[in-house]
Amino acid sequence: MEQAIQVLGSLLILTPFALVQLGRMLPTSALYLMLNLAGSSILAADAFTGRQWGFLLLESVWAVVSLIGVLRLVWNDRPILRS
């Protein structure tokens, strides 16, 4: 089950990254930021339970930066679910 959680979290980060690289999504879009926030939060929680401190640091920072991006969209009155 732990592997499935890690794969899910990774896919939530890698899918939008790949879409940005292919020109199918903007890195400033709400969907991109929300998928990154979800994936990195899942991986950070998994890293915490596994006591993997370096991985926890990486994913926690990734989650915080994504959250800041989402909050900027909210503060600028942009719809959250528009990609």
pLDDT in tens, 5-47: 999 999 999 999 999 999 999 999 999 999 999 999 999 999 9
Does residue 83 form part of some domain?
A: no
10 Å Cβ neighbour count for 40?
25
Q: What is the pTM of this model?
A: 0.86
Looking at residue 76, what is its pLDDT? 83
Does residue 62 form part of some domain?
A: yes
Does residue 27 form part of some domain?
A: yes
Does residue 80 form part of some domain?
A: no
Looking at residue 53, what is its pLDDT? 97
Residues 6 or more apart whose CB falls under 8 angstroms from that of 31 comprise 16, 25, 81, 82, 83
Range of the domain at 24: 2-75
